[in-house]
Amino acid sequence: MNDSPRRKELTRQAAQLFVQEGFDRTTVRMLAQEMGIKSGSLFHHFRDKQEILAAVIEEGTQNALMIARDALDNCDSNPEARLHAMARAHLETLLTDRNAHVVALYEWRRLDPEARDHLGHLRDAYETLWEEVLDEALAADLIRGDRFLVSRFVMGALNWTVRWYDPRGERSPEDLARELIAMITHPAR
Amino acid sequence: MNDSPRRKELTRQAAQLFVQEGFDRTTVRMLAQEMGIKSGSLFHHFRDKQEILAAVIEEGTQNALMIARDALDNCDSNPEARLHAMARAHLETLLTDRNAHVVALYEWRRLDPEARDHLGHLRDAYETLWEEVLDEALAADLIRGDRFLVSRFVMGALNWTVRWYDPRGERSPEDLARELIAMITHPAR
DNA sequence: GTCTATAGTCTGATAGAC
DNA sequence: GTCTATCAGACTATAGAC
């Protein structure tokens, strides 16, 4: 539709509800209430409920991509540092912001085919970034295994944190990143 | 309610739909059609939709627990063999049967508080099994790290396979288990 | 850009016949 | 144990006034 600041703010609020309740359980009335408007007014900003989901997922993936690129640009160039930067960036978008990126990962299946098609390249760009960093780690013998499987196992371990992580606990996303890297890397010999 | 063979069969069919569509999107009419009856008849077997979910999750967790115990009873007693048996059992209940255990993991949040309370001990028993096996691996220096984090990372890597695994592909659950163990273990030195 | 009002559909669940 | 018929409520989305 458009990408006014207003729409951006509404998208941000929708993301929070989608994480809390799940997309299917979130009604347009709940969304409108969260936004401080009536449900009818919502459809001035979004064509339908699907479009809200697409906006959230686009926002979440774009944001994750940006933060990951930033982190990679500002860390040491050795494979371990890059791996750690990538994992930390991923966890921070999932656990600190706790919003749009979670929706992108957990509600992807709810996108209709057209939206999935339109957003596929964004998702691919993010996954490619991961695969590059993992390729470097594999080439340096920091990790061992099949590239495809390693990337999926690592992403799984990271993405599942959403289910158990307690932000009020004593572990930071950075702690988690460090521990995961320690678990899967073979120290220099 | 009860646990007749009929109810067991209906539960099995419900599990399949819950995996395919998600609990929220699955209507009682869809469930009834899958079962070959009309929607009104469904409520002769289950009090309400919630009870169907609870039945599926109970079945899925109990089955996973049974299969895991079997696998542990019939494998070598060294920590690596036990870890492998556990991972393979977990993946087989998720990827081969592709049913109730997936629902137990992915729709747990949809249980109402009473059901969650009633099924909590089953879930705990299964997680305890995992922690025992991981403790042995940690004690043997096969894996390194914090017990809590290691168990969650491993379960995350395993549980996430549901999202990308293609049963028609060339990798078996056993292959996946072997590769995951290889990734996280430090070979004897 | 937001409101009120409501159309039209689908939902989980119940009642009573067979 | 299954059926038909239906209720009452919730749902997404629209129309038109302001």
* Domains defined along chain B, listed by start: 50-184 (1.10.357.10)
Position B188 pLDDT exceeds 70: no
Q: Which of residues 39-58 of B touch strand D (CB under 7 A)?
A: 39-41, 44-45
Chain D nucleotides near the protein (CB, 7 A):
1-6, 10-16
Contact between A183 and B184 using a beta-carbon 8 Å cutoff:
yes
The answer to whether A144 and B182 have CB atoms below 8 angstroms apart is yes
Burial class (CB in 10 A: 0-12, 13-18, 19+), B26: buried
Q: What are phi and psi of B89, to 5 degrees?
A: -60, -45
Which of A150, A155, A179 is closest, CB to CB, to B183? A150
Contact between B183 and A145 using a beta-carbon 8 Å cutoff:
yes
pLDDT tens profile B43-52: 999 999 999 9
Residue type, A147: R
Amino acid B2: pLDDT: 74
Contact between B153 and A180 using a beta-carbon 8 Å cutoff:
yes
Q: Render the burial of A160-184: b for 16+ CB within 10 Å, e for the rest.
A: bbbeebeeeeebebeebbbbbbebb
Percent of chain A scored above 90 by pLDDT?
A: 94
Nearest alpha-carbon partner for B129 in B70, B48, B179, B183: B70
Contact between A144 and B183 using a beta-carbon 8 Å cutoff:
yes
pLDDT tens profile A137-175: 999 999 999 999 999 999 999 999 999 999 999 999 999
Instruction: Using a 7 A cutoff on CB, list residues near strand C.
Output: A 4, 6, 32, 37-41, 44-45; B 26-29, 39-40, 43, 47-50
Position A4 pLDDT exceeds 90: no
Residue in chain A nearest B156 by alpha carbon:
A157
Residue A41 CA distance to nucleotide C4 C1' (Å): 11
pLDDT tens profile B112-169: 999 999 999 999 999 999 999 999 999 999 999 999 999 999 999 999 999 999 999 9
Contact between A149 and B179 using a beta-carbon 8 Å cutoff:
yes
Residue B110 CA distance to nucleotide C8 C1' (Å): 29
Give start and end residues of each alpha helix (H) in B22-146: 28-35, 39-45, 49-73, 79-95, 100-106, 113-139
Amino acid A188: pLDDT: 55
Structure-token pair, residue A186: 């073979």
Position A21 pLDDT exceeds 50: yes
B5 CB inside 7 Å of strand D = no
Average pLDDT (B25-31) is: 98
∠ CA B132-B119-B92, nearest 5°, is 55
Position B3 pLDDT exceeds 90: no
Position A132 pLDDT exceeds 70: yes
pLDDT tens profile B99-117: 999 999 999 999 999 999 9
Residues from chain A contacting residue B22 (CB–CB below 8 Å): 24, 109
Neighbouring CB atoms inside 10 A of A120's CB total 12
Residue B40 CA distance to nucleotide C18 C1' (Å): 15
Amino acid A125: pLDDT: 98
pLDDT-derived band at B189 (thresholds 50, 70, 90) equals: very low
**DSSP H/E element including B20:** helix B5-21
D13 nearest neighbour residue (CA to C1')? A48
Amino acid A189: pLDDT: 44
Residue A81 CA distance to nucleotide D14 C1' (Å): 54
B52 CA: nearest nucleotide by C1'? C12
Q: Does A14 or B2 have the greater pLDDT score? A: A14
B37 CB inside 7 Å of strand D = yes
Q: Give CA–CA dist B103/B88, Å, rounded.
A: 18
pLDDT-derived band at A98 (thresholds 50, 70, 90) equals: confident
Side-chain-side CA neighbours of residue B15 (13 Å) = 26
Average pLDDT (A86-108) is: 96
Q: Give CA–CA dist A43/A63, Å, rounded.
A: 25
DSSP letter for A48, please. S
